[in-house]
A = this chain, B = another copy of it.
Amino acid sequence: MPVNYPPPAPEPLLPVPGVTLGAAPARIKNWTRPDLLLVSLAPGTLAAGVFTQNRFCAAPVTICREHLARSGSARALVVNAGNANAGTGARGLADARATCAAVAELLDCPADTVLPFSTGVIMEPLPVDRIVAALPACRDALAEDGWFLAARAIMTTDTVPKGASRRTELQGESITVTGIAKGAGMIAPNMATMLSFIATDAPIARPLLETLVGDIAAASFNRVTIDGDTSTNDSFVLFSTHRAPVPPLARRDDPRLVTVKTAIWAVAVELAQALVRDGEGATKFIAIVVEGGRDAGECDRVARAIAQSPLVKTAFFASDPNLGRIVCAIGNAAIPDLDPGRVSFWLDDVLVVADGARASSYREEDGKRVMAGSEIGIRVVLGRGPARATLWTCDLSHDYVRINADYRS
């Protein structure tokens, strides 16, 4: 059960003009549900993406990077769940290319405008035959309102599909942003989450789209961690179908950009937080804000040291205000000249540590009250500068171990 995340009903995932989606079962694992997604994009669609920094990046990530570098035009996405096509060497690359070629033939578009994505078990060969065989059924299912089924098709250990939409106005014209995401474990995105796709009909020129996708990732998907493991397949791609009848946005100083960027960012944050809320075994959603650092980098290191400490995470699971574990994590954040005597932190509105030691006002029952909730805020003040960073994470429960000990069986 995800933490305070009602899965999106099919209705609110708004169609984006120029985007149709269709899914079908390809039996990539021993599943009968649809596990293959085809997305068709209208001619003129531009795309930009950010991808995992893992050196063992998956074959489809390599191909996506290659295709996006070539033209930036995208006519189709093909996404399979159940197999990551990572750690598969030369064969993996050939398999990803073969999948793109089959889609290109089916939709009559150049193969290098097809972007492939895979998610699932690492180091197993991709069953290309079964994927190619299921593609016609995906094409037959293509529909503008296919977003909800698409969000379901890309799930692996996710317990709920994840999608979000925003509608806004640009020069009197309605603009839509809709996105989906998947991922519940192996989540500590370094550029993006496991998989997320966001499309808008707002017309955005290519260089600006590339800037935007990085900015948005930095303020959404790169702000979450579940278990500190950056996956081999992380991909976040932003599509602009250029269907809205307004002049294209091409410059960073275009005053209309704020409107569009805010809508895309809202969708991305909703999806990023949904990943954490559905984190493997999660029972609590924890927002960590670190302030008063010299730069955002050191604030981020402190936030990650807290978020990725198994001892902190198990204390949250137990609703135990064992707050010394947070102190210990702060001390481990690789800031050699940190002065502990200037550090303070709050648990929601409760001051726990002031000037490096337990606050005289702190009472254990106040800590217990906050820890018992399912939404918990941690605010750390380092007292050494003006920078800040935010990170969203979850606790570490029995179910995380159960899910990951049983995953392949």
Contacts and interface: CB of A to CB of B under 8 A. Distances in A.
Contact of A341 (B57, B89, B308, B309): B89
Given A87-B357, A398-B401, A123 B324 contact: yes
Interface in A215-237: 227-232
A324 B88 CA distance: 10
A122 B326 CA distance: 10
A338 B400 contact: no
Contact of A57 (B90, B331, B405): B331
A397 B333 CA distance: 25
A310 B56 contact: no
Contact of A55 (B331, B397, B402, B405): B331
Nearest to A404: B314
Interface residues of A, number: 68
Interface in A380-409: 396-398, 400-402, 404-409
A356 interface: yes
A353 interface: yes
Interface string A141-163: 00000000000000000000000
Contacts of A404: 310-311, 314-315, 318
Contact of A322 (B323, B327, B407): B407
A226 to B, nearest CB: 9
A329 to B, nearest CB: 7
A292 interface: no
B406 A89 contact: no
Given A56-B331, A87-B356, A89-B355, A408 B322 contact: yes
B310 A227 contact: yes
Contacts of A91: 357
A55 B398 contact: no
A187 to B, nearest CB: 10
A125 B362 CA distance: 13
A67 interface: no
Interface of chain A, main secondary structure: loop
B324 A121 contact: yes
Contact of A357 (B90, B311, B338): B90
A329 B86 contact: no
B123 A327 contact: yes
Interface string A313-346: 0110110101111011111110110101101000
Contacts of A309: 228-229
Given A340-B55, A356-B56, A328 B405 contact: no
B357 A89 contact: yes
Interface in A51-87: 54-57, 84, 86-87
Query: What 5 pairs between A and B have smallest CB-CB spacing?
Result: A122-B324, A89-B357, A56-B331, A318-B405, A123-B324
16 contacts: A55-B332, A56-B356, A86-B324, A90-B357, A122-B323, A122-B327, A123-B353, A123-B357, A227-B311, A229-B310, A229-B329, A311-B404, A314-B404, A317-B405, A318-B409, A400-B401
Interface of A: 54-57, 84, 86-92, 121-125, 185-186, 227-232, 308-311, 314-315, 317-318, 320, 322-325, 327-333, 335-336, 338, 340-341, 343, 353, 355-358, 396-398, 400-402, 404-409
